[in-house]
Amino acid sequence: MDSSVVAEMMPFLTDFYGNPSSAYSFGSQVKDAIEVARAKVATLLGCAPNEIIFTSCGTESNNAAIQSALLIDPDRQHVVTSAVEHSAIIKHGEALARRGIEVTWLPVDSSGQIDLADLENAVREDTAIVSLMWANNETGVLFPIERAAEMVRAKGALFHTDAVQAVGKIPIRLADSKINFLSVSGHKLHCPKGVGVLYAHRKSRFNSFLIGGGQENGRRAGTENVPYIVALGKAAELAGAAMGMENVEVKALRDHFENTLLASLDGIEVNGDRENRLPNTSNVAISGVESEALLILLDQRGICCSGGSACTTGQLTPSHVLMAMGFSPERARSSVRFSFSRYNTRAEVDRALGIIIAAVQKLRTFKEAAIAA
């Protein structure tokens, strides 16, 4: 968390604990702070403040957009999404399919990109909503979201984007776009975990699946998490100010990291389109190395990164994203994802590189010795 984000939210845990829905002035002070945060998030997204709905997380925002679209018209019960979405969309899509709702999963190519012609073909008269992520959380690959939204809206369906990874990293101007709904998560912006936003275009019909009090203009019932909303406002302000720098300096750190790895070790390949991706993400396949083993060695040396597989019920399942890109389970299992932020320094990256290169060499030597034995 950014220390100025913590400083901004602290008074709302101590002094200003009033309920924003209360009529007394102690509550209305707090309500004003929510509105300031709303305006700051709206500025980052290039939309109007009354299009911002505060939620508990990116997952809730994703679920809310899709559930709402399916409630609008009983004759539109088809959903289109991609094969590489975050589980907050994938598992939801699978659950909808089990309830009899038809879901079309768009494929991606080996660079992690969708084909807009596939999207054009997938949208039908009964399509309720298309949900496509703006930036992939494993590879950082960016989908052509504005063009996709135009295409989908021209065919009469609603368009949602899971922009959890993209917000604050790439410029977004929703006012000039055809996007109906967009999801944000606080903890990708140096804000606490457990707060998010659903952007809902002011003319788009939206039915909340949380039914109760009239908070958020009747669009999201439940007493507001004021400290975290205030924090998200500050984090959005900081992200907007830092975006230009991130796209130069954080990108330079990431590229230095990747280029040094490629030059120092054989058998390294970058997963995903190297040009068309977020500035902070690096996903590399390291042949001859099991990512789980590498992760343990790196964790011991204070380097936190993620593998290309997830442990589900005791089994290592290769990443659905890398598999959808057509890679083998072996390549997925030897892939590791590193993320960089504006708080990383060149010295940290160089230290990490030294540790990673030594760890890969060690694991490869063990493997060769085991094969020889």
Chain residues that interact with ligand PLP, rule: CB under 6 A: 57-59, 86, 88, 133, 137, 162, 164-165, 185, 196
| Minimum distance from residue 132 beta carbon to ligand PLP (Å) | 11
Q: Does residue 308 contact residue 333 with C-beta atoms inside 8 Å?
A: yes
| Minimum distance from residue 114 beta carbon to ligand PLP (Å) | 15
Q: What's the rounded Cα separation, in Å, for the pair 370 and 373?
A: 5
| Minimum distance from residue 297 beta carbon to ligand PLP (Å) | 24
Q: Are strands 78-82 and 102-106 parallel, antiparallel or unpaired?
A: parallel
Among residues 47, 191, 305, 311, the one annotated as catalytic is: 311
* Cβ count within 10 A of residue 175: 12
Active site residue 311: yes
User: With respect to ligand PLP, which residue has the nearer C-beta, 16 or 143?
Assistant: 143
User: With respect to ligand PLP, which residue has the nearer C-beta, 132 or 284?
Assistant: 132
For 263, phi then psi, to 5°, come to -80, -25
Total residues found in the chain within this entry: 373
Which residue type is seen at 38? R
User: With respect to ligand PLP, which residue has the nearer C-beta, 96 or 363?
Assistant: 96
| Minimum distance from residue 140 beta carbon to ligand PLP (Å) | 11
Q: What's the rounded Cα separation, in Å, for the pair 70 and 76?
A: 7
The 3-state secondary structure of 63-94 reads HHHHHHHHHHCCCCCEEEEECCCCHHHHHHHH
The 8-class DSSP code of residue 315 comes to E
| Minimum distance from residue 133 beta carbon to ligand PLP (Å) | 5
Distance of CA 104 to the CA centre of its chain: 21
**Whose CA is closest to 220, among 30, 38, 27, 53?**
53
User: With respect to ligand PLP, which residue has the nearer C-beta, 16 or 199?
Assistant: 199
Cβ partners under 8 Å of residue 193, min gap 6: 57, 186, 187
| Minimum distance from residue 280 beta carbon to ligand PLP (Å) | 12
User: With respect to ligand PLP, which residue has the nearer C-beta, 20 or 58?
Assistant: 58
The residue number whose beta carbon is nearest to ligand PLP equals: 58
Q: What's the rounded Cα separation, in Å, for the pair 273 and 141?
A: 6
Q: Does residue 159 contact residue 180 with C-beta atoms inside 8 Å?
A: yes
Distance of CA 4 to the CA centre of its chain: 23
The 8-class DSSP code of residue 135 comes to B
Q: Does residue 278 contact residue 166 with C-beta atoms inside 8 Å?
A: yes
- For the record, the structure tokens of 57 come out as 């997380």
Q: Does residue 83 contact residue 119 with C-beta atoms inside 8 Å?
A: no
Kindly give the interhelix angle for 25-45 and 226-245, rounded to the nearest 10 degrees: 30
User: With respect to ligand PLP, which residue has the nearer C-beta, 165 or 344?
Assistant: 165
| Minimum distance from residue 46 beta carbon to ligand PLP (Å) | 20
User: With respect to ligand PLP, which residue has the nearer C-beta, 165 or 177?
Assistant: 165
Catalytic residue positions, numbered: 311
